[in-house]
Amino acid sequence: MSNAHEHGPSCDCASCGDPRGMDVLDKYLTVWILGAMAVGVGVGYAVPSVTEPIGNLHLVELGLIVMMYPPLAKADYSRLWTVFRNWHVLSLSLVQNWLIGPTLMFGLAVVFFGGVVPGLPARPEYFLGLVFIGMARCIAMVLVWNELAEGSTEYVTGLVAFNSLFQIVTYGVYVWLFGLVIPPLLGLESLVAGVTTFDVTPMQVFRAIAIFLGLPFAAGILTRYVGTRVKGETWYDEEFVPRIDPLTLVALLFTVVVMFATQGGAIVASPGDVLLIAVPLTVYFVVMFLVSFGMGRSIGADYSTTTAIGFTAASNNFELAIAVAVAVFGVGSGVAFTTVVGPLIEVPVLLALVNVALYFQRRFDWSGRTDDQPTTTSD
């Protein structure tokens, strides 16, 4: 890992108690995130027309691309073969992302919006919205959470690439299976009444992945290739990388502002529904993170690898879920509203889990190793 680090009593990094180099943003990141959320909601509510220029200028997409560029430019791509060669990690990621994650989200959608719990009426559109989210594995913001938690850039890049390829083929099938086939088998026909098919094509999925992962991925590879050959690896890692590092957090704050601005009116108008959708999403993020962290430790992975595994499994590709929900049901549908609420909940919850990961880094012994990873220890 390019930012591998030994932690101990003499360590002066943020995760060991002291601010890191970029202390103004890093040390008070929670405050800046909450402030960005408040500003976004306020702007969206006060100036509803702001949604149109944000959409026309693709500001959310641009923010996401810029946000992902530094982690992808920092990754040492010569080590990706080592990542893919480690079948323990790849198999674990496959189970987490394509078996445990979708099943857990489907179960939560049934419990909260399936009409099976007294006092919680069936909400078919919210149910389908959670299904759309749960079947879309993360390819974007996971890079930021992993970076903030000092996870392995190489492993998270490899796992994201792996899940992206898998997603192109499986997303439409998973939405069809969990959204249309399984509910009637459980006696929940009302959840899919009037819905006969989902027109989710591999091209739709591929387009979203190409935009939100392909562009920054290509830019990162090109930057490292040119920079290391023209100026050398030492200059690249010690001079160039620190210069572009702040882009991640600045772009994250920008993206949060514009994302919340697009839904400011809806959030203020329907706070109860937002909170209702937030509960299963929060449960999902926390459970997936803790289970994945535990599974990572169980196979002897070190901290940086376990962190990459945990955040890859706990995050979702909301960009894909939103794009498909809008295309199938329309921008004003409850399904689309649910998918848009997703990232509004993910940002603060995953930011909190970054701090949980850093606590685990200090609290537990990480002397274990994967098949191909060097050992990283922590006090």
pLDDT digits (tens, 9 = 90+) for 120-131: 898 998 999 999
* Mean pLDDT on 115-138: 90
Residue 229 has pLDDT above 60, yes or no: yes
Q: Please give the residue that has the higher pLDDT: either 322 or 83.
A: 322
What whole-number distance in Å separates Cα of residue 35 and Cα of residue 249? 14
pLDDT given for residue 14 in this prediction: 40
User: Beta-carbon neighbour count of residue 28 at 10 Å?
Assistant: 12
C-alpha distance from residue 324 to each of 146, 209, 270, 279 (Å): 26, 12, 23, 23
What whole-number distance in Å separates Cα of residue 373 and Cα of residue 148? 20
* Mean pLDDT on 150-163: 84
What is the phi-psi region of residue 119: left when phi exceeds 0, alpha when psi lies from -120 to 50, beta otherwise?
left
pLDDT digits (tens, 9 = 90+) for 31-89: 887 888 889 889 988 998 888 888 788 887 788 788 878 877 887 777 667 767 778 88
What whole-number distance in Å separates Cα of residue 221 and Cα of residue 72? 7
Residue 299 has pLDDT above 90, yes or no: no
Q: Which two tokens stand for residue 272?
A: 């109860």
pLDDT given for residue 22 in this prediction: 43
What whole-number distance in Å separates Cα of residue 139 and Cα of residue 73? 16
Distance of CA 47 to the CA centre of its chain: 29
pLDDT given for residue 375 in this prediction: 39
pLDDT given for residue 312 in this prediction: 92
Percent of the chain scored above 90 by pLDDT? 27
Q: Please give the residue that has the higher pLDDT: either 127 or 20.
A: 127
What whole-number distance in Å separates Cα of residue 24 and Cα of residue 4? 22
Rg of the Cα atoms in the chain: 20
Residues whose CB is less than 8 angstroms from the CB of residue 341 and which lie 6 or more positions away in sequence, other chains included: 129, 263, 274, 277, 278, 281
Low-confidence winner among 29-38, 226-235, 296-305, 370-379 (lowest mean pLDDT): 370-379
What whole-number distance in Å separates Cα of residue 190 and Cα of residue 12? 57
One-character DSSP codes across 231-287:
T-HHHIIIIIHHHHHHHHHHHHHHHHHHHHHHTHHHHHH-HHHHHHHHHHHHHHHHH
Across 26-30, 143-147, 225-229, which has the greatest mean pLDDT? 225-229
pLDDT given for residue 27 in this prediction: 63
User: Beta-carbon neighbour count of residue 12 at 10 Å?
Assistant: 9
* Mean pLDDT on 363-370: 69
Residues whose CB is less than 8 angstroms from the CB of residue 184 and which lie 6 or more positions away in sequence, other chains included: 192
* Mean pLDDT on 306-312: 93
Low-confidence winner among 75-84, 154-163, 236-245, 343-352 (lowest mean pLDDT): 75-84
For residue 65, the one-letter residue type is I
What whole-number distance in Å separates Cα of residue 70 and Cα of residue 249? 10
CATH 1.20.1530.20 corresponds to the domain 20-363: yes
pLDDT given for residue 26 in this prediction: 61
